[in-house]
């Protein structure tokens, strides 16, 4: 988006790394009500379409010997299933569809955001904070429903000396409530930082001498962003599993 | 954005676009949250109602197929081992049989051979005895002839010397000389 | 003037990104050192590796965020 402005401007470099994150109504107008279809809506819908294409259309033949799309779907299923089973334990399997939803949404939102001129929904704190708060609320509710007041044992480190325990309890409590903050800012920050850096390099391309370096740097950053897009989805999912394990087995 | 730091062109462009970070524009958070929740609910239902049970079924079916195939392969392998054993058994039997037959044939031949050898031996010894007899006869015949010849020769010799040969004495002398 | 100070602050905050890079390098390097000593145990610990990297990186992202806030929101 920043590159659009360069042709017109002759003097000085133009950097608008944040313009790509602007939310615009799809059908004109300036007012964004809570129901207005915006580019957020469009790219979330595309993510839904991608998920359906992979997980439903791709597996429609139910082949014992899978086609390419079906084996990718099965790979994603096996990947998340094994993660839930290994990290959160066998009794967390009933949360598997929920975790799978988070993973598929984030992974597709991240990858769709890497398409040039697209909009990255996961770069917005509004989106990731909701995702992280959903996880936080789920974990807290599950923890109290499963263990009752025993869930508070998570904050009472029984292996520490008695005098230290209240202090540790306060630290644990703070770290527990910081979880959704770091959980959400990690995802949005990584995605936003990568995209912004690519735009900054694109801004340097306005100088003819620097432009080859700029193109090489954009290519390298793009490769890194492909990696980050997957790893951040993986990290978000695995942290959800870790938090869920705390809720199901709070013994510290 | 601070106005004093940017040059005029940048400032104009900055003013035209949205202020600062779009992420911190809280006025459209409601919109994002609304659409996000709809998205999540749709994905959740699609996954939990359609996609995940289907994939689980396919994986279970594949697991079953693989298990069955492995069992079938195991069975076939057992059969192959069995067949091989039977083959080996048959081979061993045949070998024993062959050895038996060979031994029998050998014994039979040996018996025939023995009989034939015995017969031949007997024939040979009979022939040898016959030959010996014939030789003895010939020898005896030869001795007599020699005696006759010697007698006659002695008589002639005596006569030639002018003596009157006594036939008996000559014969006796010849016989003595021939013995000696 | 105030804006210039904010820009200086943003630059200072970006130092945190370098610190996070050191942290991530530490995590990955130590993982590799351990993995080369005992390769059979490495496969089971990749999840821990990524969690460690994520926690180390999150703090770098925080400093990046502070830089952005100083640039655009002050």
Cβ–Cβ below 8 Å for C68 and B1:
no
A238 near A87, Cβ under 8 Å? Answer: yes
Let me know if A56 is exposed, middle or buried by CB neighbors in 10 A (0-12, 13-18, 19+).
middle
Q: Which residue in chain A has the smallest CA separation from C17?
A: A193
Indicate the DSSP class of residue C72.
I
Confidence of residue A27 (pLDDT cuts 50, 70, 90): confident
Residues on chain C touching B15 (C-beta within 8 angstroms): none
CB contact A235 to C (< 8 Å): yes
CATH number for the domain harbouring residue C44: 1.20.20.10
Tell me which of B168 and A201 has the higher pLDDT: A201
Q: Which residues pair with A38 in a beta bridge?
A: A25
Cβ–Cβ below 8 Å for B21 and C73:
yes
A136 near A179, Cβ under 8 Å? Answer: yes
A151 near A251, Cβ under 8 Å? Answer: no
Cβ–Cβ below 8 Å for C3 and B5:
yes
Q: Structural domain tally of chain C?
A: 1
CB contact C57 to A (< 8 Å): yes
How far apart, in whole angstroms, are the C-alpha atoms of residue A235 and residue C55? 10
How far apart, in whole angstroms, are the C-alpha atoms of residue A136 and residue A155? 16
* SS3 assignment, position A38: strand
Cα distances from B154 to residues A97, A143, A226, C18, in angstroms, run 150, 159, 148, 156
- Per-residue pLDDT, averaged over A209-238, amounts to 92
- Per-residue pLDDT, averaged over A3-25, amounts to 65
Q: How is residue A42 written in tokens? A: 């469009």
Q: How is residue A168 written in tokens? A: 């540790």
* SS3 assignment, position A25: strand
What does the CA dihedral C46, C50, C56, C57 come to, rounded to 10 degrees?
A: 150
The pLDDT score that the predictor gives to residue B19 is 53
CA distance A139 to chain B (A): 17
- What number of other Cβ atoms are within 10 A of residue C61's Cβ? 22
A108 near A50, Cβ under 8 Å? Answer: yes
Q: Which of C6, C68, C69 is closest, CB to CB, to B2? A: C6
The pLDDT score that the predictor gives to residue B12 is 38
Cβ–Cβ below 8 Å for C3 and B3:
yes
HSE-CB for B1 with a 13 A CA cutoff: 19
CB contact A18 to C (< 8 Å): yes
Q: Which residue in chain B has the smallest CA separation from C74?
A: B1
> Mind listing the pLDDT tens digit for each residue in A143-185?
999 888 888 888 888 888 888 888 888 998 998 998 898 889 8
Tell me which of B79 and A193 has the higher pLDDT: B79
Contacts B–C by Cβ distance under 8 A: 27
A247 near A146, Cβ under 8 Å? Answer: yes
What average pLDDT is seen over chain A? 87
Q: What are phi and psi of B33, to 5 degrees?
A: -65, -40
DSSP letters spanning A119-140: --GGG-HHHHHHHHHHHHHHHH
Q: Is the dihedral of CA A38, A43, A46, A52 positive or negative?
A: negative
Q: Which of B3, B4, B20 is closest, CB to CB, to C73? A: B20
Q: How is residue A231 written in tokens? A: 């790893």
Cβ–Cβ below 8 Å for A51 and B10:
no
CB contact B85 to A (< 8 Å): no
HSE-CB for A190 with a 13 A CA cutoff: 30
A84 near A78, Cβ under 8 Å? Answer: no
Q: Choose the mutation target among C72, C73, C74 for the interface with B, i.e. most B CBs under 10 Å.
A: C72
How far apart, in whole angstroms, are the C-alpha atoms of residue B31 and residue A47? 17
Confidence of residue A43 (pLDDT cuts 50, 70, 90): very high
CB contact A245 to C (< 8 Å): no
Q: Which residue in chain C has the smallest CA separation from A82?
A: C47
Residues in chain B: 180
Q: What are phi and psi of A193, to 5 degrees?
A: -60, -45
> Mind listing the pLDDT tens digit for each residue in B59-95?
999 899 999 999 999 999 999 999 999 999 999 999 9
How far apart, in whole angstroms, are the C-alpha atoms of residue A20 and residue A119? 7
Residues on chain A touching C53 (C-beta within 8 angstroms): 231, 235
| Residue A99: its H or E element | helix A96-113
> Mind listing the pLDDT tens digit for each residue in A79-94?
999 999 988 888 899 9
Q: Which residue in chain B has the smallest CA separation from A39?
A: B32
Cα distances from B101 to residues A194, B95, B98, B106, B107, in angstroms, run 91, 10, 5, 8, 10
How far apart, in whole angstroms, are the C-alpha atoms of residue A226 and residue A224? 5
In this complex, the chains that touch A, judged by 3 or more CB pairs closer than 8 A, are B, C
Q: What is the 3-state secondary structure (H, E, C) of chain A?
A: CHHHHCCCCCCCCCCCCCHHHCCCECCCCCCCCCCCCEHHHHHHHHHHHHHHHHHHHCCCCCCCCCCHHHHHHHHHHHHHHHHHHHHHCHHHHHHHHHHHHHHHHHHHHHHHHCCCCCCCHHHCHHHHHHHHHHHHHHHHHHHHHHHHHHHHHHCCCCCCCCCCHHHHHHHHHHHHHHHHHHHHHHHHHHHHHHHHHHHHHHHHCCCCCCHHHHHHHHHHHHHHHHHHHHHHHHHHHHHHHHHHHHHHCCCC
ipTM of the complex: 0.86
Q: Which portions of chain B are predicted below pLDDT 70?
A: 1-19, 165, 180
Cα distances from A149 to residues A91, A140, A201, A244, C41, in angstroms, run 20, 11, 53, 17, 37
CA distance C58 to chain B (A): 18
Confidence of residue A252 (pLDDT cuts 50, 70, 90): low
Q: Which of C50, C61, C64 is closest, CB to CB, to A234? A: C50
Q: Of the candidates B52, B159, C57, which has an alpha carbon nearest to the alpha carbon of residue A187?
A: C57
Q: Which residue in chain B has the smallest CA separation from C1?
A: B4
In this complex, the chains that touch C, judged by 3 or more CB pairs closer than 8 A, are A, B
How far apart, in whole angstroms, are the C-alpha atoms of residue A59 and residue B80? 39
B51 near A59, Cβ under 8 Å? Answer: yes
Q: Choose the mutation target among A16, A101, A104 for the interface with B, i.e. most B CBs under 10 Å.
A: A101
Residue-number span of the structural domain to which C60 is assigned: 2-73
Contacts A–C by Cβ distance under 8 A: 37
A32 near A38, Cβ under 8 Å? Answer: yes
How far apart, in whole angstroms, are the C-alpha atoms of residue A118 and residue A114? 7
Q: Which of C50, C62, C64 is closest, CB to CB, to A235? A: C50
């Amino acid at each position: 988006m920043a590159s659009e402005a360069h042709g017109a401007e002759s003097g000085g470099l133009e950097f608008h790394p944040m313009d790509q994150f602007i939310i615009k109504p799809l059908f004109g107008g300036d007012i964004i009500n809570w129901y207005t279809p915006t580019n957020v809506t469009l790219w979330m819908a595309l993510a839904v379409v991608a998920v359906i294409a992979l997980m439903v259309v791709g597996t429609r033949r139910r082949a014992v010997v899978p086609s390419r799309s079906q084996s990718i779907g099965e790979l994603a299923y096996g990947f998340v299933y094994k993660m839930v089973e290994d990290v959160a334990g066998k009794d967390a399997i009933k949360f598997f569809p929920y975790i799978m939803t988070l993973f598929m949404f984030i992974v597709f939102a991240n990858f769709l955001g890497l398409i040039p001129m697209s909009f990255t929904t996961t770069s917005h704190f509004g989106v990731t904070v909701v995702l992280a708060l959903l996880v936080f609320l789920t974990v807290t509710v599950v923890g109290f429903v499963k263990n009752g007041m025993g869930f508070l044992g998570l904050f009472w480190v029984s292996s520490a000396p008695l005098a230290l325990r209240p202090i540790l309890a306060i630290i644990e409590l703070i770290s527990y409530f910081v979880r959704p903050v770091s959980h959400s800012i990690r995802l949005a920050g990584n995605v936003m930082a990568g995209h912004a850096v690519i735009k900054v390099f694109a801004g340097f391309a306005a100088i003819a001498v620097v432009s080859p370096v700029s193109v090489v740097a954009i290519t390298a950053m793009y490769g890194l962003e492909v990696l980050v897009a997957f790893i951040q989805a993986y990290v978000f999912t695995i942290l959800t599993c870790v938090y869920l394990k705390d809720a199901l087995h709070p013994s510290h | 954005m601070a106005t004093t730091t940017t040059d005029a062109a940048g400032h104009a462009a900055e003013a035209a676009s949205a202020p600062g970070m779009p992420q911190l524009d809280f006025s459209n958070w409601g919109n994002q949250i609304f659409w996000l929740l709809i998205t999540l609910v749709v994905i959740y239902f699609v996954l939990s109602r359609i996609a995940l049970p289907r994939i689980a079924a396919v994986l279970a079916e594949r697991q079953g197929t693989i298990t069955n195939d492995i069992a079938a392969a195991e069975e076939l392998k057992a059969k192959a081992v069995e067949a091989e054993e039977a083959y080996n058994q048959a081979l061993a039997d045949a070998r024993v049989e062959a050895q038996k037959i060979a031994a029998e044939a050998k014994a039979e031949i040996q018996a025939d051979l023995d009989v034939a050898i015995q017969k031949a031996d007997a024939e040979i010894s009979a022939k040898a005895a016959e030959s010996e007899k014939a030789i003895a006869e010939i020898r005896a015949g030869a001795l007599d002839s020699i005696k006759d010849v010697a007698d006659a020769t002695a008589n002639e010799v005596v006569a030639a010397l002018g003596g009157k040969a006594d036939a008996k004495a000559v014969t006796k002398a010849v016989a003595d000389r021939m013995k000696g | 003037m105030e804006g210039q100070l904010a820009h200086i602050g943003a630059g200072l905050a970006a130092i945190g990104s370098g610190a996070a890079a050191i942290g991530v390098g530490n995590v990955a390097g130590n993982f590799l050192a351990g993995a080369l000593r005992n390769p059979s145990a490495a496969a089971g610990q990749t999840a821990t590796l990524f969690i460690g990297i994520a926690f180390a990186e999150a703090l770098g992202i925080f400093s990046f965020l502070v830089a952005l806030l100083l640039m655009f929101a002050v």
